[in-house]
Amino acid sequence: MPNWILKVGLTGGLATGKTHVAGALARLGCRVLSADELGHQVLLPGGEAYDDVIREFGPAILGPDGRIDRRLLAAEVFGRPERLEKLNSLVHPHVIHREEQWLETLGREALAAAGPRVIAVIDAAILIETGSFRRFDRLILTVCSEETQIRRHVERSGESEAETRARLARQMPLEAKRRYADYVIDTSGSREDTDHLVEEVFRKLQQDAI
């Protein structure tokens, strides 16, 4: 029910503050859904991708509790593009299906309320790389300097600077992503600075939703 919702994609590179921006948009009144959280759910026992992923990558990716250990799974695909592509092909269709179900529910709620259009934001890491950005009315990109990305990721993950640089080298450059974005939020400043930029984008989204 696209007339009742403005579908917004939120994406960005490693440690560019995407999660903070998603939270800020939610506080401003947007409905926000995390594709990463959906990815967790479809990999749980009984989840849509659980059996297929184990069949493809083997029982060595399981933890003692029978759940897929995401660190072990990540090790299977790290630096192996063909294996990552295979994993994505098993997981992403189920994630997208859940996203579409969520959007349909929001559309029905908005229709019943007969109020203003709902701003629905889906927070996902590789919208541009997979072509999924085309499903959205607007696309927000979070960016910051590479040195900021490295510092943030090292601090929160414990990986070395060299490991982080290697990880970044395998990602689509932020500058290449800019041409796809309707709105770019630079998170290099303080959280307060970022929140002000989010508020500016939110006001524009409100106009887009009219």
Q: What is the pLDDT of residues 121-130, one digit of tens each?
A: 999 999 999 9
Domains of the chain: 2-37+97-208 (3.40.50.300)
Q: What is the pLDDT of residues 138-196, one digit of tens each?
A: 999 999 999 999 999 999 999 999 999 999 999 999 999 999 999 999 999 999 999 99
As given in the structure block, the two tokens for residue 132 are: 């999924």
Contacts of 50 (CB under 8 A, 6+ apart): 42, 43, 44, 68
pLDDT for the residue numbered 138: 98
User: Regarding predicted confidence, which is higher, 209 or 2?
Assistant: 209
Q: Which of 188, 208, 6, 24 is nearest to 106 (CA)?
A: 6
pTM of the model: 0.93
Q: Which of 80, 99, 83 is nearest to 39 (CA)?
A: 99
Are 172 and 43 in contact by the 8 Å Cβ rule? The answer is no
Q: What mean pLDDT comes out for the span 81-91?
A: 95
Three-state secondary structure call for residue 32: strand
Contacts of 92 (CB under 8 A, 6+ apart): 130
* Residue 112: CB atoms within 10 Å: 9
pLDDT for the residue numbered 4: 84
Mean pLDDT of the chain: 95
